[in-house]
């Protein structure tokens, strides 16, 4: 099979279009690409505004712990693609819950699978009568789990199940979040697992390709062995691409779009945890080490300004009464952000925006 050569500009333009950031579309199409992260709370609305006109029909979407355990808004009919498809075989479950949690589980004399089964059973029983707020949900788990799964948390000053275990209830298809900080038993459609897994690879490659199975594992926080098997399962749909001397993959049907990506137009303000910013190969997105360090600090991640699809600046916003004060660090020319800033201010619960440069 012939290997296509692609440069960084082509790759990023391809990804901008894959995330529907080149031109606004309808809300359901925008969500379908790879979901919208709802962390920090409320930011999925900002991500939707950057991609679509109009509002979501709440009956068509569900919020569930998905990639990296983070809450994502996804189409209800697609929920299994971003939950069930992430779950590896038992040998890879450590990656799903995290190394620290897996170590504590082992210290309790349990395998990760056994621990997840216990937490799942406790969640089903605790939520059997209906949704529970966060504190009540954790109390329900506390009442039903052995001490070995309830380590002391200095921050909360209580014993509770580790986040790696309760967040895994999303990928396991046990829970979803019908409201902020509220948990309920999942009620989205269950589909064929192999079909969901194949579609996970397709959605990932349309949004983040050209990419490798290791990058899918990093983006999703699952086992590389698992994602390697998922790539292998749709091998006949994949085409190799060489980018900066390394080999990666796209869907064969997307080769024309990668060769000539659609042009992007306009200004977009993205949050620091926007799905587009969450590219697994950060060096491709931001080659400059100093700028990359500024975009991905240990805490307090800034947002991103895109202009015609290109990175044009970093921004931070803070609320001051009814005003969202926005500070921008420009990369190149200063742009007119007023319309986008006002829209984001409204979405963040403010009446207006004030931009300082």
Contact call for residues 315 and 285 (beta carbons, < 8 A): no
Instruction: Tell me how crowded residue 332 is: count the other CB atoms within 10 A of its CB.
Output: 10
Q: Are strands 246-251 and 238-243 parallel, antiparallel or unpaired?
A: antiparallel
Distance in Å from the first CA to the final CA of the chain: 50
**pLDDT recorded at residue 155:** 79
At 116-140, the pLDDT tens digits run: 999 999 999 999 999 999 999 999 9
| DSSP line for 275-327 | TTTT-S-HHHH---HHHHHHHS-SS---EEEEETTEEEEEEEEEEETTEEEEE
Sheet holding 182-185, edge to edge: 132-133, 182-185, 175-176
Read off the DSSP letter of residue 124. Answer: H
Query: Pseudo-torsion of CA 346, 347, 350, 356, nearest 10°?
Result: -80
Alpha-carbon span 90 to 115, nearest angstrom: 12
| Contacts for 32 with CB less than 8 Å, ≥ 6 apart | 75, 78, 203
Q: State residue 303 phi and psi, 5-degree precision.
A: -90, 180
**pLDDT recorded at residue 356:** 87
Read off the DSSP letter of residue 253. Answer: G
pTM greater than 0.85 (yes/no): yes
Structure tokens at 159: 């014993």
Alpha-carbon span 21 to 15, nearest angstrom: 9
Contact call for residues 209 and 16 (beta carbons, < 8 A): no
Q: What percent of the chain has pLDDT over 70?
A: 99
Count how many Cα atoms sit within 13 Å of the Cα of residue 104 in the half-sphere of its side chain: 20
CA 73 to mean position of chain CA atoms: 9
Query: Hey, where are the domains in the chain?
Result: 94-170, 267-356
Q: CA 51 → CA 29, 204, 267, 278, 327, distances in Å?
A: 9, 17, 11, 16, 22
> Tokens 């064969």 identify what position?
252
Alpha-carbon span 275 to 70, nearest angstrom: 11
Whether pLDDT at 263 is above 70: yes
Instruction: Tell me how crowded residue 142 is: count the other CB atoms within 10 A of its CB.
Output: 17
Structure tokens at 20: 């529907």
**pLDDT recorded at residue 1:** 65
At 338-348, the pLDDT tens digits run: 999 999 999 99
At 25-67, the pLDDT tens digits run: 999 999 999 999 999 999 999 999 999 999 999 999 999 999 9
Q: Which residues pair with 355 in a beta bridge?
A: 326
Peptide bond into 221 cis (omega under 30): no
Alpha-carbon span 341 to 357, nearest angstrom: 13
Contact call for residues 287 and 314 (beta carbons, < 8 A): no
Whether pLDDT at 259 is above 70: yes
Q: Which of 112, 113, 105, 195 is nearest to 146 (CA)?
A: 105
Q: Which residues of 274-297 are buried (b: 16+ CB within 10 A; e: fewer)?
A: bbbbbbbbeebbbeeeeeeeebee
Alpha-carbon span 351 to 342, nearest angstrom: 8
Average pLDDT over residues 223-237: 98
**pLDDT recorded at residue 19:** 98
At 173-193, the pLDDT tens digits run: 999 999 999 999 998 887 899
Using a 10 angstrom Cβ sphere, with 0-12 exposed, 13-18 middle and 19 or more buried, the burial of residue 225 is: middle
Length of the chain: 357
What is the SS3 assignment for 111?
Answer: coil
């Amino acid at each position: 099979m012939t290997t296509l050569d692609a440069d960084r500009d082509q790759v990023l333009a391809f990804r901008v279009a894959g995330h529907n950031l080149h031109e606004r579309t309808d809300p359901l199409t925008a969500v379908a690409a790879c979901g919208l992260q709802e962390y920090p709370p409320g930011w999925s609305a900002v991500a939707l505004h950057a991609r679509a006109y109009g509002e979501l029909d709440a009956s068509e979407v569900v919020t569930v712990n998905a990639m990296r355990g983070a809450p994502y808004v996804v189409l209800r009919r697609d929920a299994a693609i971003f939950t069930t498809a992430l779950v590896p075989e038992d040998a890879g479950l450590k990656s799903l819950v995290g190394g620290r949690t897996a170590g504590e589980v082992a210290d309790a004399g349990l395998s990760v699978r056994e621990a997840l089964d216990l937490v799942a059973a406790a969640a089903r029983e605790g939520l059997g009568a209906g949704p529970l707020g966060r504190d009540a949900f954790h109390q329900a788990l506390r009442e039903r789990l052995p001490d070995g799964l309830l380590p002391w948390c200095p921050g909360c000053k209580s014993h509770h199940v580790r986040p790696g275990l309760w967040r895994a209830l999303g990928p396991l298809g046990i829970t979803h979040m019908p409201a902020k900080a509220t948990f309920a038993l999942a009620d989205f459609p269950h589909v064929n697992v192999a079909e969901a897994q194949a579609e996970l690879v397709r959605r990932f490659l349309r949004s983040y390709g050209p990419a490798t199975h290791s990058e899918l594992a990093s983006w999703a926080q699952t086992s590389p062995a698992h994602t390697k098997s998922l790539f292998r399962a749709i091998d006949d749909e994949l085409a190799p691409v060489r980018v900066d001397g390394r080999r990666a993959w796209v869907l064969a049907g997307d080769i024309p779009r990668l060769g000539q990506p659609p042009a992007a137009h306009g200004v977009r303000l993205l949050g620091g945890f926007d799905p587009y910013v969450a590219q697994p190969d950060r060096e491709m997105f931001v080659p400059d080490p100093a700028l990359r360090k500024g975009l991905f600090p240990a805490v307090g991640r800034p947002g991103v300004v895109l202009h015609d699809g290109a990175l044009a600046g970093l921004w931070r916003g803070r609320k001051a009464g009814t005003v969202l004060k926005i500070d921008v660090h420009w990369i190149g020319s200063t742009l007119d952000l007023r319309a986008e800033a006002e829209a984001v201010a409204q979405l963040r619960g403010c009446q207006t925006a004030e931009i300082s440069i």
